[in-house]
Amino acid sequence: MSRQAILLGLLLAAFALAPLAAGPYLLSVLVVVMYFAYVGQTWNIMMGFAGQLSLGHTLYVGLGAYTAAALFVHLGVPAALGLFAAVGAAVLTGGIVGALGFRFGVKGVYFALLTIAFAEFTRILFEHIPGLGGPGGLFLPVGDRNGIDLIHLRGHPLMFYYLILAMTVGIFLLCRWLLRSRLGYTWLAVREDQEAAAALGINVFRAKLYAVMLSAGLTALGGVFFAFYYNNLFPNQAFGMNRSIEIILAPIVGGLGTLFGPILGALILTPLGEGITLATEAMGFKAAGIKQLCYGLSLLAIVKFLPDGVWPWARARLGLEPDLDGEGDN
């Protein structure tokens, strides 16, 4: 086994054993870390692997969350079944966004603006649907917080922690396999030079559309987790622009296009945000936007001094081989 594989194994063991020494608050922080590591990795598929910038990725989080939650609240459909409808809705929407953008040659920053427009349109739409609570929100019945019910996703916070940990490990392994697959190499070719890829016979439109749809469906799973963990949904929260920025920060800070980057980025940013919140409360004041300001300063520092992200820099300093990152960061 390589040193990098051993390091990741030790890190996984640390995460698996962390709840033994964590109180309720620390456990909730760990859940948030894993959540942003997961959704950051799903966004990484689209941007880091295929090179398609999405700034409205919260669209798929919100669709997944609202679809599964509405089926559960109104029809009693368990989360284990509702997630299929949630993923289907997100994949269909991602296909529409991708097809409209790529068919008409929309790319780069203009495609990013298109994703924002879809997210904002959906937010406004959901604010005017009474059956989903409108701006007042959709609330899920809490149920038994001490049991373990993976079918309905009702249970102890510890159950949610190990679930999101398993999801994060799963998306890590899936992305590792994808990078070594024919589709993964196709994405990398499209990311580096679309014209050259097309000249080699690659169907660029189909490759990019696959990336968007796969990323959308996997992100929707994160939305289902979000809905059943927090038990409440608001359009401004589920589809808000600030949520999209939080999704993309972890892979950018950790290392865009790498497998471990989103995990490391979430490990850096989430404790940073929680520490800022605790520090401001301890000093007796609440400055609106202070967390976002610190996130912005952190991002500027990373872009200035570590443009490839923290993980490629740390990996080089530790003398680790990029054997677990495929070709994603080359």
Average of per-residue pLDDT across 267-279: 85
Measured between alpha carbons, how far is 74 from 140 in angstroms, rounded to an integer? Answer: 10
Nearest alpha carbon to residue 112 among 46, 186, 171, 36: 46
Beta bridge partners of 155: 148
Print burial letters for 192-219: b (CB count within 10 Å at least 16), e (below 16). eebeebeeeebeebebbbbbbbbbbbbb
The more confidently predicted of residues 278 and 101 is 101
Q: What's the confidence (pLDDT) of residue 330? A: 40
Nearest alpha carbon to residue 205 among 226, 190, 224: 190
Nearest alpha carbon to residue 235 among 136, 91, 87: 136
Measured between alpha carbons, how far is 157 from 140 in angstroms, rounded to an integer? Answer: 16
The model's pTM = 0.93
Measured between alpha carbons, how far is 169 from 214 in angstroms, rounded to an integer? Answer: 17
Q: At 111, which amino acid appears?
A: F
Nearest alpha carbon to residue 46 among 117, 120, 84, 98: 98
Confidence of residue 327 (pLDDT cuts 50, 70, 90): very low
Beta bridge partners of 154: 149
pLDDT tens-digit profile of 115-126?
A: 999 999 999 999
Q: How is the chain split into domains, by residue range? A: 3-318
Average of per-residue pLDDT across 276-300: 75
Nearest alpha carbon to residue 29 among 278, 261, 274, 212: 274
Nearest alpha carbon to residue 236 among 127, 129, 92: 127
Q: Where are the alpha helices (H) located in 76-139, listed in sequence order?
A: 79-103, 109-127
CATH topology of domain 3-318: ABC transporter involved in vitamin B12 uptake, BtuC (1.10.3470)
Q: What's the confidence (pLDDT) of residue 280? A: 76
pLDDT tens-digit profile of 123-153?
A: 999 999 999 999 999 999 887 778 889 999 9
Long-range interactions of 163-168: CB distance < 8 A, separation 24+:
163/225, 164/31, 164/34, 164/35, 164/38, 164/225, 164/229, 165/15, 165/16, 165/34, 167/34, 167/38, 167/221, 167/222, 167/225, 168/34, 168/37, 168/38, 168/41, 168/263
pLDDT tens-digit profile of 168-200?
A: 999 999 999 999 999 999 999 999 999 999 999
Confidence of residue 214 (pLDDT cuts 50, 70, 90): very high
Nearest alpha carbon to residue 219 among 48, 50, 89: 89
